[in-house]
Structures are given as C-alpha cells and as structure tokens.
C-alpha cells in the first residue's frame, strides 16, 4: 500500500513544527526556566537544541524517509537485531507522555471556560494561585476535561494524516505568534517587568548544576518532539526531493522562537505582579490571567489565548497518538479506528492517577515524586535522553550509509564526516555525561 504523503514541503514543516510547538514551549518551558534560575538555563537549552537537537532531528527525518516506515519499522527495515528496541521504547514513551499531556491539555479547556465566565479576570496573585490550585486538586473536574482533550485528539487522528494534522497547523502558528507578541508588548510595559526580562536573559553561571543540565536536555528533546520516532514517522511521508536540512532548521527555529517568546510573555509578568517564579507547573496558568486583567478587551484575549494554547497542544498530542496508533495498525494488524480508540482509552486511564496525584492522591509518592512528576521524570529525564543516545549510536555506527544517502546531495563531505563523528561519539558521550552528573 502506498504511504500517504504531505501535500507540500510547507505542509511537512508546519506539521512537524505543530508537533514540536505545544505545551512544551508555552507551558513547560517558562516554569522550568524559572525554577532553574532563568538566564543560564535559556542559553544551555538553546545550545542543546542547535547541536544535539539539530543533528538528531535530521537523523530521525532521514531514517524515516529512507525506510519509508514508522518508529519501529524503520529500525527493523534498516538493521533488525536489537535496534527496533529504540522504536518500541519510543512508542511506549509517546503513550506515557500523552497520559499526562492530556491532563494538562484538559486544563487549557477548563481555562477557556474560566475565561468565558470571567472567573479568572483578576490580577490578584493569591486569588489566581488559589483558583488554579483548587481546580487541579479537585477529584473530578480535571478528569472530565482530560477526557475531553483525549477525545478531541482521537477525533483528529481518526480523521487521517493530511486532513487532520496539516489543516490545523497552517492556521494555528501565525495566529499564535501574533497573539504572543501582543501579550509580550503588554507585559513589558508593566511596571517592574524589566526585572523579569533580566532574570530570563542574564546568564548566572552559579545556577548551573547537573540537575539543571538534565532539565535542559529533557526539555530540549521534549519540546522538539525528539527521541520517540515522531520525526521518523513524519519523515516517512516526505517525498524524495525535499531538502531535509532546511526543514529541520525551520522546525527548530520555530520551536526555539516560541519557547523564547513564551519566556518573554510569562516571566516579566511574574515579576511585575509579584508571583513566585518557582511556582512550578501552574506558572503559565496562574500568571497570564493577570496580564489579561490589565488589557482592554482582556477577557476576549484570555479566551483567544487559551483557545490557541489548546490548538497548539492538540497538534502535538495528535502526533503522539499518531505514533502509537500506527504502531498498533502495523504491528497488531488493527484497523485505524480500533487502534486509535484502544490507545486513547489506555492513555485516558493512565492519565487518571496522574491527575489525581496533584490532589487527593498527592501523598502517594514513588522515589519522592507524585505520579505526575514521576511520569515526567521517566519520560523527559530518563527514557527520551536514553532513546536519543541509542539513536545517535545507531546513526553513527549502523545506519550511516543510509542517512548519508538521504542528506548528502550538495553537501560538503567534510560536513558529513563531522556529523557522523558527532553521532558516533560526541553526542552519546554528551547525553551520557549529562544523565550521569544529574544523578
Ligand atoms: N513537543 C511537544 C510539546 O512541546 C510535546 C511532544 C513531545 C510531542 C514528544 C511529541 C513528542 O508540546
């Protein structure tokens, strides 16, 4: 059966960027940067994205196009043996991520409601913290929204690759950028906002630690959707003529730009309104309403912001569900509809303890973490880096001829040799070192 193909190169870039840009950039990046002390984190994150991120994204896209297969199939077709384990791991991690991603996606739906009924239209830091806290710790409400988000994701995936993903991304990205720029302009003109900008961009090297490095590494992979076979799957829908390097650079530039804008949007407001920068996962949800409260037509902007955040989250969650679904179709022989429904149901179930662990099950700790943090730790700090480490070894030692074949036309042999050397030794050593020092 012929594999579906992207309608155009732009369609591919937008869909890949749609997968990358999501809650990672807008929800996770600001609070992780803030808890890690700002500036230094930003630069380390950028450094990782432009080196490891670029090479690994390019490798994933090349593997996908060369094998014409998804996450597991690519490794099986190109090498066999032990290597498909990387693909299986990727599928598992997609499943794990989606369970808590969908919980946070549900929060965005809930906040659309709260923006509509005006209940978050206040600049009172305490009140906003209280609204967020009592919402996420409620035993039932967040679960209903989590179900809603999972269902939306399912609806798009059952609709198919082109219609679903491409259509959504084209409209979304420009709208998101414009709105973020506007919110930044408002945030920066608030008294006290400048302290937040300085906090965000001034590197303080005393804050650099093993824990921060692994946070930056994990966030880089998470925000770029790397290490799980997503870019392999998407690469397999790309036609032979497309220039993969250019596409990968675009995706990374767009994602990094969104993270940067999200930081500029949230952190100045944190300082202007006296919020706690280390507030954790609630930071974006707690801080942004205070900005809306200071805008003319604030309520309208609030609704628009959470709608766009929801759409950005959806284009990412769709890519996650797409990987597990095509795995179930290819490996278990299920129909698309059955595969997607079964997986979405599993993801919903796993999200239940993740959501409850922020409230009624908060005392149940594993290795000192609640279930939500545990899922985040297992995926971002353990399995994604490990997956990328193995992928780099795979590209450098095993699949190099194929990857070179996909990438080399018109490129200097020196550049290609550098990339191979990077994958064979430097990238695995770097990832391994960061994982070790963080322990
Ligand atoms: N990159 C997505 C985001 O930032 C999340 C994601 C991670 C999607 C891994 C796919 C794979 O929101």
225, 252, 385, best to mutate for ligand 1 pocket (most atoms within 8 Å of CB): 225
C-alpha 434/C-alpha 422 separation (Å) is 16
CA-CA-CA-CA dihedral for 123, 129, 130, 134, to nearest 10: 130
Between the two ends of the chain, the Cα-to-Cα distance in Å is 47
| 18 in Cβ contact with 313 (< 8 Å) | no
Contacts of 222 (CB under 8 A, 6+ apart): 24, 28, 97, 379, 380, 384
Q: How many CB atoms lie within 10 A of CB 89?
A: 21
C-alpha 106/C-alpha 207 separation (Å) is 33
Position in ligand 1 atom list of the atom nearest CA 316 = 8
C-alpha 64/C-alpha 5 separation (Å) is 12
Give me the half-sphere count of Cα atoms (radius 13 Å) on the Cβ side of residue 342: 14
Q: Which long-range contacts (CB under 8 A, 24 or more apart) does 425-430 make?
A: 425/396, 427/52, 427/55, 427/56, 427/388, 427/389, 427/392, 427/396, 428/389, 428/392, 428/393, 428/396, 430/52
| 361 in Cβ contact with 353 (< 8 Å) | yes
Measured CA to CA in angstroms, residue 435 lies from 212, 233, 385, 409 at distances of 11, 27, 8, 35
Provide the residue-wise pLDDT of the chain in tens; the chain has 439 residues. Answer: 346 676 677 878 888 888 899 999 999 999 999 999 888 999 999 999 999 999 999 999 999 999 888 888 889 988 888 899 999 999 999 999 999 999 999 999 999 999 999 999 888 888 998 999 999 999 899 999 999 999 999 988 887 655 655 666 677 888 889 999 999 998 898 888 999 999 999 988 888 888 899 999 999 999 999 989 899 988 888 888 788 888 999 999 999 999 999 999 999 998 988 888 888 888 999 999 988 888 888 899 899 999 989 989 998 998 899 889 888 888 888 988 999 999 999 999 999 999 999 888 878 888 888 899 999 999 999 999 999 999 999 999 998 988 888 887 767 788 888 888 988 889 999 999 998 887 7
C-alpha 215/C-alpha 394 separation (Å) is 24
The secondary element (H helix, E strand) that includes residue 60 is: helix 54-67
57, 93, 98, 223, best to mutate for ligand 1 pocket (most atoms within 8 Å of CB): 223
pLDDT of amino acid 2: 47
C-alpha 200/C-alpha 285 separation (Å) is 18
Burial zone of 81 (CB within 10 Å; 0-12 exposed, 13-18 middle, 19+ buried) = exposed
pLDDT of amino acid 347: 96
Crossing angle for the helix pair 193-201 and 167-188, to the nearest 10 degrees: 120
| 68 in Cβ contact with 337 (< 8 Å) | no
| 320 in Cβ contact with 226 (< 8 Å) | no
Measured CA to CA in angstroms, residue 369 lies from 354, 358, 374 at distances of 11, 11, 6
Q: Residues lining ligand 1, judged by CB closer than 6 Å? A: 19-20, 22-25, 97, 222-223, 225, 228, 230, 316, 319-320
CA of 366 to the centre of ligand 1 (A): 24
Closest residue CA from atom 4 of ligand 1:
24
C-alpha 110/C-alpha 119 separation (Å) is 11
Q: How many CB atoms lie within 10 A of CB 436?
A: 10
Position in ligand 1 atom list of the atom nearest CA 222 = 7
C-alpha 49/C-alpha 257 separation (Å) is 11
The secondary element (H helix, E strand) that includes residue 373 is: helix 371-376
Closest residue CA from atom 10 of ligand 1:
225
pTM: 0.93
What φ, ψ does residue 214 adopt, rounded to 5°? -70, -30
C-alpha 19/C-alpha 407 separation (Å) is 22
Give me the half-sphere count of Cα atoms (radius 13 Å) on the Cβ side of residue 78: 31
pLDDT of amino acid 163: 61
**Residue 205 CA to its chain's centroid (Å):** 26
Q: Phi-psi category of 227—alpha, beta or left, where left has phi over 0 and alpha has psi -120 to 50?
A: left
CA-CA-CA-CA dihedral for 272, 274, 279, 285, to nearest 10: -50
CA of 323 to the centre of ligand 1 (A): 12
Crossing angle for the helix pair 283-293 and 167-188, to the nearest 10 degrees: 60
Closest residue CA from atom 9 of ligand 1:
225
């Amino acid at each position: 059966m012929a594999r579906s193909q992207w309608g155009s190169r732009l369609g591919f870039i937008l869909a890949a960027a749609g997968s990358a840009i999501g809650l990672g950039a807008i929800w996770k990046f600001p609070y992780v940067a803030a808890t890690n002390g700002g500036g230094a984190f930003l630069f380390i994150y950028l450094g990782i994205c432009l080196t490891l991120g670029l090479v690994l994204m390019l490798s994933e896209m090349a593997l996908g196009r060369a094998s014409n297969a998804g996450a597991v199939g690519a490794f099986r077709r190109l090498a066999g043996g032990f290597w498909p384990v990387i693909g299986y791991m990727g599928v598992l991690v997609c499943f794990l991520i989606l369970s808590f991603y969908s919980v946070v996606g549900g929060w965005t739906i809930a906040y659309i409601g709260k923006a509509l009924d005006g209940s978050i239209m206040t600049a009172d830091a305490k009140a906003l913290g209280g609204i967020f806290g009592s919402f996420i710790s409620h035993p039932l409400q967040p679960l209903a929204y989590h179900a809603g988000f999972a269902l939306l994701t399912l609806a798009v995936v059952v609709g198919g690759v082109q219609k679903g993903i491409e259509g959504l991304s084209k409209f979304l990205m420009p709208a998101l950028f414009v709105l973020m720029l506007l919110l930044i302009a408002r945030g920066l003109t608030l008294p006290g906002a400048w302290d937040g900008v300085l906090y965000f961009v001034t590197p303080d090297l005393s804050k650099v630690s093993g824990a921060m490095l692994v946070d930056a590494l994990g966030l880089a992979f998470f925000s770029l959707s790397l290490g799980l076979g997503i870019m392999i799957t998407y690469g397999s829908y790309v036609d032979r003529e497309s220039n993969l390097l250019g596409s990968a650079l675009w995706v990374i530039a767009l994602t990094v730009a969104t993270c940067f804008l999200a930081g500029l949007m949230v952190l100045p407001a944190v300082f202007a309104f006296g919020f706690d920068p280390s507030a954790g996962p609630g930071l974006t949800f707690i801080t942004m309403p205070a900005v809306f409260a200071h805008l003319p037509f604030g309520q309208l902007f609030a609704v628009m912001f959470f709608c766009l955040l929801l759409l950005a989250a959806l284009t990412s969650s769709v890519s996650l569900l797409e990987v597990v679904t095509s795995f179930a179709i290819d490996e278990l022989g299920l129909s698309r509809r059955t595969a997607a429904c079964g997986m979405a149901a599993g993801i919903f179930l796993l999200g239940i303890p993740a959501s409850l662990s922020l409230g009624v099950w908060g005392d149940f700790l594993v290795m000192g973490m609640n279930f939500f943090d545990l899922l985040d730790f297992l995926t971002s700090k353990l399995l994604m880096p490990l997956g990328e480490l193995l992928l780099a070894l795979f590209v450098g030692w095993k699949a190099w001829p194929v990857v070179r074949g996909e990438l080399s036309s018109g490129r200097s042999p020196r550049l290609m040799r550098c990339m191979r050397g990077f994958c064979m030794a430097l990238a695995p050593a770097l990832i391994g070192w960061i994982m070790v020092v963080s322990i």
